[in-house]
Structure 1
């Protein structure tokens, strides 16, 4: 029997390749069967066979197909390589996904953000997402937002001073000025640290932040960069990891610094209040950052680690500057091409501020209804986030079509906002669409620039306040003009929707 045992074991090394090959064949067959089942379920939904063009053209291709297939059906399907995707471009269909507490998983594109953001609020799902949402909601309490108005105002003053040097009636790209201002604001409000991006746009942190965004977008749009091994072999991973080190080092440094300040503040308040720490976090004497809320939570919940805190701080940094900057830039572009509406905004600003050159207050912002409606209408025409992606973890039925588990649902605000049934003359810039009397009969999911439902943007009040203040700071000082026709715009739909060639405008002082 010994010789038999030895012969059997001698065959093992030769059998390994066959076992491996059999396993691969089994996986391929399984994948093929699943794909055929998905295909058979999705075939009844109208749509093209596949999407052959990817990369920077992706948004233009989807936009073109949306217009074409939108004439046939409000919902269409396509294959992105081996992945089935269903595009939704009408409010009633979007509601099925966005209003659900089940369909909350982000699409696989978001996984390329994991090395940077981990599984923070943007990318988390299930119980972790629910606990983080509950934890972070108090960070956007109106008392805290009111404290941030001072930061908005301070940084907008820096921006306006720089724009004064460009206010000579000559065309220039205003997009970088607004973006760097928004970056200064989110750094100070999220981390409690000034990075002076407007004065030092070449800093390692600013450059790493912009470069990591570009690398993530490239990886999302180019299938050959998505496998880790190819991302590494093609040389992208080295730069990606170097950027991550700069960004994460800054976040951990801020956490360490703010924790020391947090403990000192806690001890000081204890002495001042005779041991009473009620309202210690929201306190009026010291302006606190979002980071402080996380440190407060970590005090009572030891399971919240520095990595957890860093994930949320980095998520605020990612979500809190580019999207806001895009909204302000699109507002400036549209007002620059509609001088009659800009005149209404100037009239409102003069009514609120007169000739006073004073900082903006929260009560001022509440009065700027026309300004707010202009921003909302700009976000309707040019939503900062062009796609909302969800991956189905279970089958769903929409418009009597069965959509299988594993399908990517692409909700496209750019198209939903152009439904003529919800927005007559959809391509016309008309801020009065957002007057109360014009909104009352509109479908609740017809306007989703901040998403909607359980996973709506937690920071939308913060964003709208910042956008109003920065826009009014510019328009209090300047008239803006744009010569670029809408039909000549080249839209780039990457992580945000922006004009590919920048936002070229002319500024002239309102008062000399």
Structure 2
């Protein structure tokens, strides 16, 4: 009898707790609407045992069913999915909603509280510190790194061009982008293109894979289940290598700066950088918060953030751009002609930032590629207190997820959305100006991508070097396979990016 009473009290107590915890969420979520769910598990069954590609298709199906703003329950987690430009604007443009959603927790073991994942006061402070890093005068010095690594990339591609066989370019672009960002961020070469089996390169691949698993595996989303899996042990092993490498670079460069005495990082005679180049790390080592230098941990988090954000996103953009150039020889020829008009037909001549900025048609091609294949397919924000966004009440604790992939393919926002037409971004009829929140490949508002100019210059540099040396061709048999995507933190092709190359005569 006593056990029955205790059990009854426990059940009633649990019911009261759950009602208090979820009453507002259930009430407001019902007003927003969404696909039919079930008690306790919500809509989770629609996403269980899905491959990454199937998961993306499942999201696509729900968007078709439920419209441009709807709720999803993944167990107790409430998500609001948004492809409505006005709702996206209300969310992203407000300084009130800068806290990243729970999905970013999967990156925190690697990045800690860096610029991508931090919120509130710390984010504002570090955004202010880091913004000058992307000043055009500093950016111009990174261009030399872009060019040097592009030359290595061209050399790596030569055997592919000589064989004439189809190959997946995505892994090769990944290694090039990793070389660029590591040298730019840390002033240290990791030689990923020439040594893809190094411990650091393999650790980057491993941690990226684990992050992606947690994005689509419903059970791995929960720490207590993840911590019991083999993925947790693999993550710990990769993090030991990643954090150890970054820490060693920080300590080494901090010691070198100390030996340099009072010389500044931008002193032409300073030996800290590579020649006159200034690494992102050097600027952080010189930075202060209220007069105190940054700790090694704070610096490591920002450097690791730069590496994470800077290699995966540009890899996605460059790879899909090469895919589209292979499908559209007219666009490729026009881009090549523009490059020659700016730099001439010398295959190896470096381009400076001014020349890269003159590649206006290539910029249109990049923008059109990012409309169809945004490197970051979604942005998430966590609502800390119950708020209204475009007339909708969003309860506290909700993750609001904006999905630019589907916005870029919405016929209401872009005419003939699946047609690849770079001219839609020209000055006269710019698709960006109609409603800038319909096209947000670099996010928007206070938390927009701080490195978008860096990324644009890097993409232009690499693509211009590729096109000066090779003609990009479709794979043997053409692009017969239907497009398929894996959408986690970064948009990836399910089956790679198969192309062929022919050396220019």
- TM-score (structure 2 length as normaliser): 0.90
CA distance in 2, matches of 1:300, 1:102: 24
- What is the Cα deviation at residue 35 of structure 1? 2.2
Per-residue deviation, residues 156-206 of structure 1 (Å, max 9, x unmatched): 000001101101332111111111000000000001100000010011000
Match of 2:281 among 279, 291, 304: 291
Alignment-derived partner of residue 453 in structure 2: 461
Instruction: Tell me, yes or no, if structure 1 residue 341 matches structure 2 residue 335.
Output: no
Gaps in structure 1 of 5+ consecutive residues: 1-13
Aligned pairs for 1:305-316 within 5 A: 305-316=295-306
CA distance in 2 between partners of 1:227 and 1:421 (Å): 37
Q: Find the counterpart in structure 2 of residue 131 from structure 1.
A: 125
How many angstroms apart in 2 are the aligned matches of 1:468 and 1:339?
18
Matching of residue 406 in structure 1 with residue 397 in structure 2: yes
1:174 matched to 2:162: no
Rounded to whole Å, the distance in 2 between the matches of 1:155 and 1:22 is 67
SS at match of 2:501: strand
Which position in structure 2 is the counterpart of 1:325? 315
Out of 200, 205, 220, the residue aligned to residue 200 of structure 2 is 205
Bigger mean CA deviation after superposition, 410-419 or 99-108: 410-419
Contact 2:469 2:503 in 1 (8 A): yes
| Superposition map of 1:172-321 within 5 A | 172-268=167-263, 286-298=276-288, 301-302=291-292, 304-321=294-311
Pair 1:142–1:281, CA change in 2 (3 A): farther
Contact 2:268 2:276 in 1 (8 A): no
Distance 1:316 1:239 in 2: 22
Mark the CA change 1:155 to 1:402 in structure 2 (over 3 Å): closer, same or farther: same
Q: Quick check: 490-499 or 249-258, which moved more?
A: 490-499
Alpha-carbon distance in structure 2 between the residues aligned to 1:284 and 1:241? 32
Unaligned 5+ runs, structure 2: 37-42
Single out whichever of 22-31 and 320-329 deviates more from structure 2.
Answer: 22-31
1:266–1:280 Cα contact (<8 Å) kept? no
For residue 353 of structure 1, report the CA deviation from its aligned partner.
2.4
Aligned to 1:350: 340
Q: Does 1:478 align with 2:475?
A: no
The aligned residue for residue 361 of structure 2 is: 370
The CA distance in 2 between the partners of 1:78 and 1:487, in whole Å, is 31
Per-residue deviation, 1:429: 0.6
TM-score between the two structures when normalised by the length of structure 1:
0.89
Q: How many residues matched?
A: 488
1:301 and 1:262 map into 2 onto residues whose CA distance is 18
RMSD across aligned positions (CA)? 2.7
Q: Decide which moves more: 74-83 or 129-138.
A: 74-83
2:159 alignment partner in structure 1: 165
1:20, 1:253 → 2: CA distance?
Answer: 56
- SS of structure 1 residue aligned to 2:436: coil
2:58 alignment partner in structure 1? 61
Separation of aligned partners in 2, 1:32 and 1:68: 29
Q: Which has the larger radius of gyration?
A: 1
Structure 1 window deviating more from structure 2 (366-375 vs 437-446): it is: 437-446
User: 2:478 aligned with 1:491, yes or no?
Assistant: no
Question: For the Cα contact (< 8 Å) 1:298–1:305, is it kept in 2?
Answer: no
